[in-house]
């Protein structure tokens, strides 16, 4: 654990009043509204937490919100930092280490993504089953010990995925499943890159999640990830791409995402 993590943990412990979150959630572009569903909320601004991100992207708030849903204590980051903001893939390591040290065992990642699947258009949700990282970078590059050779088979926990599917079905929320391909951004992909992604087996594309999932697996989190589809990927329809649309269309998926996460967390709260 680095110095920033230790300081952040001390600040959090001094303020959370005995809350012991079991699950951490990171909210993607336009999805911060989920944090409002929490009961008994306590908000700590990321600026008070050394090493926590100060998102520079519209649609990303910058707080760490503690609370409960159906008896499950959670810690929710209402925004993240992306690789494209700094050129560093490991910028989420400090917050993730802090959340793990606080006792979180499960990490739920959400994001906004572009879809390659005509049956899963804007407003839909997609459960990530696996990912493709051909970005050429990895958050674990650099000095480290043998724990950096992380096994990514079942990176997205099969038991949690099953729970997510059951929670979605119980809520009547349609939940597609597919493979997420990470692109560095911040420019959107070209139509040729999307045709390549399709050939390689991708179902959705996005600019986040993968570095966090890799760091989280090294830290021993069980990981689940869900995409909110905000657009068809480049060249798959006649719509131009822009970030305003990402934030606006994520709002369309927010209700389903909130219902899905609420049901999932309630279930997790009932598991010892
Ligand atoms: N590509 C990459 N990231 C995204 C997209 C996309 O089409 N939509 C939302 N985030």
- What pTM does this model have? 0.96
Give residue 133 CA to ligand 1 midpoint distance, Å: 15
Q: Residue 252: is its pLDDT beyond 90? A: no
Atom of ligand 1 nearest to the CA of 232: 7
Task: Please check the confidence at residue 59 and state whether its pLDDT lies above 70.
Answer: no
pLDDT of res. 97: 96
Q: Is 30 in the pocket of ligand 1 (CB under 6 A)?
A: no
Please write the tens of the pLDDT for every residue from 127-145. Answer: 999 999 999 999 999 999 9
71: left (phi > 0), else alpha (psi -120 to 50), else beta?
Answer: left
pLDDT digits (tens, 9 = 90+) for 91-109: 999 999 999 999 999 999 9
Distance CA 183, CA 185 (A): 6
| Active-site entry in 231, 233, 250, 263 | 231
Whether ligand 1 lies within 6 angstroms of the CB of 208 is answered as: no
pLDDT tens-digit profile of 199-231? 999 999 999 999 999 999 999 999 999 999 999
How far is the CA of 164 from the CAs of 11, 103, 207, 253, 254, in angstroms? 32, 22, 23, 16, 16
């Amino acid at each position: 654990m680095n110095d920033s993590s230790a300081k952040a943990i001390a600040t959090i412990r001094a303020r959370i009043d005995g809350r012991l979150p079991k699950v951490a959630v990171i909210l993607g572009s336009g999805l911060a509204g989920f944090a409002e569903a929490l009961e008994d909320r306590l908000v700590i601004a990321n600026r008070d937490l050394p090493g926590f991100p100060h998102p520079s992207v519209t649609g990303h708030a910058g707080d760490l919100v503690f609370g409960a849903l159906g008896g499950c204590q959670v810690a929710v980051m209402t925004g993240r930092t992306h690789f494209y903001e700094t050129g560093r893939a490991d910028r989420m390591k400090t917050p993730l280490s802090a959340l793990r040290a606080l006792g979180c065992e499960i990490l739920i990642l959400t994001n906004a993504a572009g879809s390659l699947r005509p049956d899963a258009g804007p407003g839909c949700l997609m459960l990530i089953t696996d990912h493709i990282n051909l970005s050429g970078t990895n958050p674990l590059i650099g000095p480290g010990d043998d724990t950096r050779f992380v096994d990514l088979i079942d990176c997205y926990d099969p038991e949690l995925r099953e729970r997510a599917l059951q929670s979605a079905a119980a809520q009547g929320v349609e939940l597609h499943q597919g493979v997420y391909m990470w692109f560095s951004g911040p420019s959107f992909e070209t139509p040729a890159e999307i045709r390549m992604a399709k050939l390689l087996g991708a179902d959705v594309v996005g600019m986040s999640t993968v570095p966090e999932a890799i760091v989280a697996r090294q830290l021993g989190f069980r990981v689940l990830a869900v995409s909110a589809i905000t657009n068809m990927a480049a060249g798959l329809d006649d719509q131009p791409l822009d970030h305003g649309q990402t934030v606006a269309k994520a709002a369309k998926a927010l209700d389903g995402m909130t219902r899905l996460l609420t049901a999932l967390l309630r279930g997790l709260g009932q598991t010892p």
